[in-house]
């Protein structure tokens, strides 16, 4: 089972308890009691603030287990908490970062303690007058449908998925449903989606880890490609969409290398397409060579 506990003001821990060889075992992960800022996490601050400033729609934060999704969402919620007089409602399994009321009012509900499931929590959320809803994970059609409905009816909804990039995320959401429902879901997703933030962590020679981030912004052009199920066109829009705040993983990695936060070997190890990244890095080396 999953649960969390806090040792006073000193530390907070996320715990998974399980049995092996007739003995109880614990896997324990430390969670800072200090909520990180977007700057602390080396995230694209201006773009993520702009995403968090939306009044309605669906924002998906994705990545494998341990990719930093919870930290990114906590930082975005803390930014909202600092700047907007809203009611933020979170549904988590378990609660990780604890948010104190600042400018916003924050209600945090834990699966198994405060509600039975994500889907049940979302149903009840509609009676609790939230402006912003955070869902720990969209893992089934019922939860996904409730999240999309909330986004379509004027709420700003944040949720996570265990997908590696924007293209896979769109496919995963649609594929949760039987074939006869998929086109409707695709149209609904295209209408309510604001952004997909996908991330992976890489080791840094400066110490700690850095989040390589891919960001897809749902522009009118991207929306049309989602409706028409044109993955390659979405990828092209992502690659060329820096004006809108979009970036690919490789573009994120190039910035870390350019800023001296990671070595060539470190960024290449995290690249989706190492050969393309090598070409980009060679261009940087040519720029900085003395003439």
DSSP secondary structure string for all residues of 137-191: ---SHHHHHHHHHHHHTT-EEEEEE--SSHHHHHHHHHHTS-HHHHHHHHHHHHH
User: What SS3 class is residue 73?
Assistant: helix
Per-residue tokens: 278: 């090598």
The Cβ of residue 46 has, within 10 Å, a number of other Cβ atoms equal to 10
Structure-block tokens of residue 43? 């995230």
* Residue 248 binned pLDDT confidence (cut-offs 50, 70, 90): very high
Kindly list the domain boundaries of the chain, sorted by start residue. 1-33, 35-247
| pLDDT at 65 exceeding the cut of 50 | yes
Percent of the chain with pLDDT over 70: 96
Output the pTM of the full model.
0.91
Report pLDDT for 286: 52
CA 249 vs. chain centroid, Å, equals: 14
CATH architecture under which domain 35-247 falls? 3-Layer(aba) Sandwich (3.40)
Q: Pick the most confident of 5-9, 29-33, 127-131.
A: 127-131
Cβ–Cβ under 8 Å, residues 131 and 137: no
* Neighbouring residues of 141: CB distance < 8 A, sequence distance ≥ 6: 176, 177
pLDDT of residue 31: 81
User: What is the rounded CA–CA span in Å between residue 225 and residue 192?
Assistant: 14
Give the mean model confidence (pLDDT) for residues 176-202: 98
């Amino acid at each position: 089972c999953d649960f969390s506990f806090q040792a006073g003001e000193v530390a907070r821990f996320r715990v998974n308890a399980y049995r092996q060889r007739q003995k109880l075992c614990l896997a324990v992960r430390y969670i800072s009691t200090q909520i990180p800022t977007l700057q602390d996490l080396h995230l694209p601050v201006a773009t993520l603030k702009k995403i968090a400033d939306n009044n309605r729609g669906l924002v998906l934060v994705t990545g494998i287990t341990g990719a930093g999704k919870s930290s990114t969402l906590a930082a975005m919620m803390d930014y909202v908490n600092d700047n907007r007089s809203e009611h933020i409602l979170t549904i988590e399994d378990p609660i990780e970062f604890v948010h104190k009321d600042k400018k916003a009012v924050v209600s945090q509900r834990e699966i198994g303690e405060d509600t039975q499931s994500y889907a049940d929590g979302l149903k009840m959320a509609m009676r609790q007058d939230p402006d912003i809803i955070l869902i720990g994970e969209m893992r089934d059609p019922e939860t996904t449908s409730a999240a999309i409905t909330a986004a379509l009816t004027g709420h700003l909804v944040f949720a996570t998925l265990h997908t590696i990039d924007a293209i896979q995320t769109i496919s995963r959401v649609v594929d949760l449903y039987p074939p006869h429902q998929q086109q409707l879901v695709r149209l609904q997703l295209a209408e309510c989606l604001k952004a997909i933030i996908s991330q992976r962590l890489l080791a840094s020679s400066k110490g700690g880890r850095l989040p390589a981030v891919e960001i897809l912004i749902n522009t009118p052009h991207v929306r049309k490609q989602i409706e028409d199920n044109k993955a390659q066109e979405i990828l092209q829009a992502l690659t060329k969409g820096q004006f809108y705040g979009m970036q690919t993983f490789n573009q994120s990695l190039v910035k870390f290398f350019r800023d001296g936060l990671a070595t060539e070997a470190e960024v290449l190890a995290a690249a989706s397409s190492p050969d393309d990244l090598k070409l980009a890095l060679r261009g940087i080396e040519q720029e900085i060579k003395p003439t």
